[in-house]
């Protein structure tokens, strides 16, 4: 289950790229650069103490925008009391039907599973599917909380973990984020089909170190 991913930096000390609209716009570039500087390019689950927020791309207002979201879906005014940082593609309708009606894309260059860092060839920037839940704020616009959508892992990624982030090609980003399109079984199936080539292309660029075997003891 994906609990860390990054935009820039990482094991290859990547620079930032801004080629997922509207990342290239001046205000968006400044927001992303500041986030990458403060968080060293690493997105972590938002906690009660370290309340780090991470960039998400959504179209809830009708046009794409970027804002910082809370990585753990909220239920009402607080974080859900159950595991809500990842959401399985095959449970979106059964368990996550409400948040599935609001969707986003997460910009990333890499993600980590079980200590191994995975990325696309040539460190290509990709978009991870996410679902959203608003966080009410009296007198202010709601903040957004999010969960990373995962799918069954394939190819090299499956050697690391049985699940992987649902990485969507750019030609389906608009359909995934369209606020007028209901979350449905058809949308899930189309997203998973569209993700196959990206999922198969994932490389393991930094493997978790093997643990040394324990020395035998007499007791």
Tell me the pLDDT tens digit for each residue of 127-175. Answer: 999 999 999 888 888 899 999 999 999 999 999 999 999 999 999 999 9
Listed residue (208, 79, 72, 80) closest to 130, CA to CA: 72
DSSP 93-112: TTT-TTGGGSEEEEEESEEE
List, edge to edge, every strand of the sheet that includes 4-6: 42-44, 4-6, 110-113, 116-119, 203-206
DSSP β-ladder status, 65-71 and 140-152: parallel
Task: Read off the pLDDT of residues 63-81 as tens digits, 9 standing for 90 and up.
Answer: 999 999 999 999 877 899 9
Q: Please state the pTM of the whole predicted model.
A: 0.92
The candidate with the shortest Cα–Cα distance to 92, out of 132, 134, 135, is 132
* Residue range 4-206, CATH number: 3.90.1680.10
H-helix or E-strand spanning residue 122: none
Element (H, E) at 83: none
End-to-end CA distance of the chain: 37
């Amino acid at each position: 289950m994906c609990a860390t991913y990054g935009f820039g930096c990482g094991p290859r000390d990547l620079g930032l790229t801004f080629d997922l609209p509207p990342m290239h716009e001046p205000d968006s570039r400044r927001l992303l650069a500041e986030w990458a500087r403060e968080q060293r390019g690493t997105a972590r689950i938002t906690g009660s103490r370290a309340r780090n927020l991470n960039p998400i791309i959504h179209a809830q207002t009708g046009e794409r925008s970027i804002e910082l979201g809370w990585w753990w879906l909220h239920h009402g005014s607080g974080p859900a009391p159950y595991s809500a940082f990842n959401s399985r593609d095959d449970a979106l309708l059964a368990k996550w039907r409400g948040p599935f009606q609001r969707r986003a894309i997460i910009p990333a260059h890499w993600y980590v599973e079980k200590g191994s860092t995975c990325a696309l060839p040539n460190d290509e920037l990709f978009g991870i599917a996410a679902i959203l839940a608003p966080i009410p704020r009296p007198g202010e616009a709601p903040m957004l909380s999010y969960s990373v959508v995962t799918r069954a892992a394939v190819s090299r990624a499956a050697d690391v973990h049985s699940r992987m982030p649902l990485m969507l090609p750019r030609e389906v980003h608009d359909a995934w984020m369209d606020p007028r399109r209901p979350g449905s079984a058809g949308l899930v199936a189309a997203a998973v089909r569209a993700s196959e080539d990206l999922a198969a292309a994932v490389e393991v660029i930094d493997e978790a170190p093997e643990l040394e075997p324990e020395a035998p003891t007499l007791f």
